[in-house]
Amino acid sequence: MISQSPKPTARNSRFYLARMQACQMEAKEASLPNVRDRALRAAVAWREMYQKALQFEQRLGQ
């Protein structure tokens, strides 16, 4: 059975957390500086979306 990945919605902080962690891992494993920098920039963006989703979830009482 194929597991479904979380959907990117304002109510699903797990999706953003998973993407942030994937970008951090990509940066850690990158041998090229420009690839590492791109992955780190993406991780920062995903972290911002994760934090916003958490705030949204907290407002809804989830």
What's the confidence (pLDDT) of residue 12?
85
* 27, 36 contact by CB (below 8 A): yes
In the structure, what pLDDT confidence band is assigned to residue 11 with cuts at 50, 70 and 90?
low
Interval 29-43 mean pLDDT? 98
User: Between these two residues, 2 and 36, which has the higher pLDDT value?
Assistant: 36
pTM for the full predicted model:
0.78
Task: Note the Cα 52 to chain centre separation in Å.
Answer: 11
Residue 59 banded pLDDT, cuts 50, 70, 90 = confident
Rounded to whole angstroms, the Cα distance separating 12 from 33 reads 31
In angstroms, what CA-CA distances link 35 with 7, 10, 24, 28? 26, 28, 11, 10
